[in-house]
């Protein structure tokens, strides 16, 4: 058996070199995404049998967003996660009990809630009446708040409980996979 080595590259080495040259020759592509892409507005007006009237307004904040950037192959991806402006108005038998914007400032201002679980990037994604409200014989209202940090794999959920005087309690119910 006779072997000769004349210094040529193997096919595998030549392929690796070609791939490296190709990757170096293309410029980074910048991809910009907005989440959600379009403006949306959701308004609900619910009258409950226990006397509560609940109005929820949720609109896309086109001016405020949270930027998440990452690299994928030769692309630089920038995702702008738009915040939502969520307003909650609660009345009992025609008397206004509560009218506030539900956002990170509202969550942070509640004294019984650990501030460490509420980051500045938290986005409120949902606010709805807990079905438990319709099962309660008392004059009380339960609501769920769902929020997330862009890029996280879990959302955070809170329960908001109102009594007939408009006093409320806020507590966490945990984190759940998105």
The enclosing domain of 52 has a CATH number of 2.40.128.510
Look at residue 119 and tell me if it is in a domain.
yes
By CB neighbour count within 10 A (0-12 exposed, 13-18 middle, 19+ buried), where does 138 fall? exposed
Question: What pLDDT is recorded for position 2?
Answer: 54
Pairing of strands 168-177, 154-162: antiparallel
Domain that holds residue 65: 30-177
Look at residue 107 and tell me if it is in a domain.
yes
Q: Of the ranges 3-12, 58-67, 112-121, 153-162, which one carries the lowest mean pLDDT score?
A: 3-12
Look at residue 66 and tell me if it is in a domain.
yes
Instruction: Note the pLDDT tens digit of each residue in 61-75.
Output: 999 999 999 988 778
Per-residue pLDDT band at 6 (split at 50, 70, 90): low
Token pair, residue 13, equals: 């080495």
Look at residue 24 and tell me if it is in a domain.
no
Q: What is the number of structural domains in the chain?
A: 1
Q: What is the pTM of this model?
A: 0.78
Quick check: 1 pLDDT over 60? no
Question: What pLDDT is recorded for position 7?
Answer: 60
Look at residue 72 and tell me if it is in a domain.
yes
Question: What pLDDT is recorded for position 157?
Answer: 94
By CB neighbour count within 10 A (0-12 exposed, 13-18 middle, 19+ buried), where does 51 fall? middle
Instruction: Note the pLDDT tens digit of each residue in 83-133.
Output: 999 999 999 999 999 999 999 899 988 887 777 778 889 999 999 999 877
Residue with more model confidence, 134 or 65: 65
Instruction: Note the pLDDT tens digit of each residue in 11-39.
Output: 888 788 887 777 777 777 899 999 999 99
Residues 6 or more apart in contact with residue 72 via CB below 8 angstroms: none
Look at residue 157 and tell me if it is in a domain.
yes
What is the spatial distance between Cα 59 and Cα 82, in angstroms, rounded to a whole number? 10
């Amino acid at each position: 058996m006779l072997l000769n080595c004349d210094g040529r590259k193997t096919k595998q080495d030549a392929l690796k070199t070609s791939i490296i040259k190709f990757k170096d020759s293309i410029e980074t592509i910048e991809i910009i995404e907005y989440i959600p892409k379009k403006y949306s507005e959701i308004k609900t007006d619910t009258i409950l049998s226990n006397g509560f009237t609940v109005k929820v307004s949720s609109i896309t904040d086109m001016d405020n967003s949270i930027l998440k950037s990452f690299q994928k192959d030769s692309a630089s991806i920038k995702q702008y996660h738009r915040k939502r402006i969520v307003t909650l108005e609660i009345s009992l038998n025609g008397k206004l009990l509560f009218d506030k914007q539900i956002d990170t400032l509202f969550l942070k201002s509640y004294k019984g809630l650990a501030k460490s679980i509420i980051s500045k990037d938290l986005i409120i994604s949902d606010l709805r009446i807990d079905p438990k409200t319709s099962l309660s014989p008392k004059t009380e209202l339960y609501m769920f708040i769902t929020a997330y940090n862009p890029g996280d794999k879990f959302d955070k959920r809170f329960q908001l409980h109102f009594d007939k005087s408009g006093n409320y309690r806020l507590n966490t119910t945990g984190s759940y996979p998105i």
